[in-house]
Chain A
Amino acid sequence: MMVFSILGLILWLVIVPFAIGFLPVKFIERKRITCGNIFAAGYLVMLAVFQLIAVPFVLAGRNMYELTICTVVVLTLLAISGIWCSRKNKIGMSLRENYRETGKCLSAWRSDKKELETMIYWVIALGLIAFQMYHAIAYASFDGDDAYYVVQSVSAAESGDLYRTLPYTGFATALDTRHALALFPLWIAFLAQTSGLHATIMAHTLLPLVLIPLTYLYFYLIGRKLLEKESDHASETPHKLLDNLPVFMILISLLQIFGNVSLYTNATFFLTRTWQGKSVLANLVMISVSWLLLCVAKDGKVDKSVMILLFCTNMTAALATTMGVFLTAVLIAGVGFFLSIYHRSFQLLWRLGLCCIPCVVYALLYVML
């Protein structure tokens, strides 16, 4: 039983998002494809697809078992498509070439003191992430909202109910329109049903072990974008351009660990309410939007992969919390406006606008409900 659960978790939390990630990355430059990009992209697409499937099920008054079966089928098909796509586009070959450079870096660290120092910083950075993951398992944080959100997951996983039971008491009710479009608790219920684990254990103990490193992956990607320097030295290996990146990651970790200045900060939500949709919005979603906007910022071009991922990120924002689509739209609109002036490109603005279609759709749906 435990083996089945572990295999289920590895499948839905690692293998499937990685396979799905091959789909959007096929549009990006070969030399920029990394495992990190693939995984980051895969999660955004997977969560967006879940949101797309789940909302009609909730509004139509169906049950969690039907939603789970449909999600399994769709995500499996997407994962298979991703694997097929990776073979067709020889993405594996690109990955091998790109990581050959990393292999050279590892050799350099043994002989170069400065590179050894960089490696020590990376060890500290990874150690801080591991420290947070350890505390996510070993410590329980109390939050009254769990009596709503985690109970929605438990109720969906145990009885198949989709937002038609009052979480606080268990009595039947009409559809909770305020929360009916923010279905992150149902994703937790999906994971619980497919792995055979209790939804509360999934939420409190297991999901932080995925969401914490995943969020740091997005921080890493944004750090790469910010700290990349142009180099005149053709022989300079890529990692030398990013020797500040581990320092950046250490500081980010410290800002999360010491960011609990009030109950309302991103950092507080990140480490004490990791499994709640609001935390996913405040951290994972907003950081991924910033990352994607930085991808656009340098040359003002919104390529297909960025459009797909921004579109999916906005849907993930809707999955996380109802207000999510408003916040991401504001950020994209603000940055898009300034970037379009800087690059003198109206095309940039309308392409970013297209990515905000989910924001408009879910906002209208919310008003109609």
Chain B
Amino acid sequence: MFAFVTGVIQNYKGSGLLLLLYLGALALLFLKEKNWPKRILLVSVPVCILIVFMIPLFQIAFNHFLDPETYYRMLWILPMSVTIAYAGIRLLEGHRRMVLIIMTVMIVLSGKYVYTGDYMAEAENAYHIPQTVVDVCDVILPEDGSQVCAVFPDDLIHYVRQYSSRIIMPYGREMLVHRWDYDDPFYRLMQQENMETGELSVTAKGYNCNYIILSTEKTFQQPMEDYGYEIVATIDGYNIYKDTTVTWPN
């Protein structure tokens, strides 16, 4: 039972240094803060929350009524930033420069800069989605405002309907989250390096799929043209195949 809670804390804390800083701030305020209303908000209640958070019975009840994957959000009740900042000021009261220098060093060394990492990149446009997606969608979207059905490679799936909800997809992000355990034959076909063109065509036509977007690196057992597809554009390493035999029902 404790394994679940320790797992949650393990995922939440990262290196653990910022959490240690918070616990240190809690301890300091426990010793130094004499104003009871502030003490209640910043020390008493957070300590109670932390204790309850660790109790297996509470965790079982929580997981019964709410999603277990969201248990870490209990930690959002703790005013960590406010507590650390306030404790730093209380520790060195009257010495603002020292507070600023010491706390800045401690925070920078304990924390992790948010603007680096795999999940951050310079924005390519105002939508904050890859420009490739915008360009591909602009090619396939009908000018009359009607809907269209298209299937996309994995790396573009997340963004397509953020650009336009007029694009219907046979499958979406749910296929990419493995722990959700979704399966779809169309998705499996799209993962092939050497495409079974006949199978792909039959499946796509079953969805009334107007377009298939594939990487230019894909190879085919038979040409797509044999099944009524033509390349209408090539954008940033993706071929846009239009099915000339299908119309998406509006």
A260 within 8 A of B: yes
| A114: nearest chain-B partner, CB-CB | B96
Q: Which stretch of A9-17, A26-34, A168-176 is in the interface?
A: A168-176
Q: B121 interface residue, CB < 8 Å from A? A: yes
Contact at B79–A290, with CB atoms within 8 Å? yes
Contact yes or no, A151 B161, CB < 8 A: yes
CA distance A117 to B98 in the complex (A): 13
B45 CB contact (under 8 Å) in A247, A278, A298, A335: A335
Chain B hits for A161, CB < 8 A: 165
B167 touches A170 (CB 8 A): yes
Do the beta carbons of A169 and B120 come within 8 Å of each other? no
A342 adjacent to B37 (CB under 8 Å): yes
Q: Is the CB of A138 within 8 A of B123?
A: yes
Total count of chain A residues near the partner, CB < 8 A? 82
Question: Does residue A358 face the partner (Cβ distance < 8 Å to B)?
Answer: no
Report B-chain residues with C-beta under 8 Å of the C-beta of A266. 76, 80-81
B31 is an interface residue with CB less than 8 A from chain A: no
Question: In the bound complex, do residue A297 and residue B38 qualify as a contact, i.e. CB atoms below 8 Å apart?
Answer: yes
Chain B contacts of A290 at CB under 8 A? 41, 79, 82
| B contact residues, total (Cβ < 8 Å) | 80
Instruction: State which residues 316-354 of A face B: CB under 8 Å.
Output: 323, 326-327, 330-331, 334-335, 338-339, 342
- Verify if A183 is at the interface (C-beta below 8 Å from B): no
The CA of A161 and the CA of B166, in the complex, are separated in Å by 12
CB-CB under 8 A from B44, the residues of chain A are: 338
B85 near A251 with CB under 8 A, answer yes
Residues of A within 8 A of B (CB): 117, 121, 135, 137-144, 146-148, 150-151, 154-155, 158-159, 161, 165-171, 198, 200-201, 204-205, 219, 222-223, 226-227, 243-244, 247-248, 250-252, 254-268, 271-272, 278, 281-282, 286-287, 290, 293-294, 297-298, 323, 326-327, 330-331, 334-335, 338-339, 342
Nearest first, the 6 closest Cβ-Cβ pairs linking A and B are: A168-B172, A261-B14, A258-B111, A297-B37, A140-B128, A204-B128
23 contacts between A and B (CB under 8 A): A135-B115, A137-B123, A140-B128, A140-B129, A142-B158, A168-B161, A170-B167, A250-B100, A251-B107, A255-B84, A256-B114, A258-B108, A258-B110, A260-B113, A260-B117, A261-B14, A261-B111, A261-B112, A272-B120, A278-B73, A297-B37, A323-B70, A330-B77
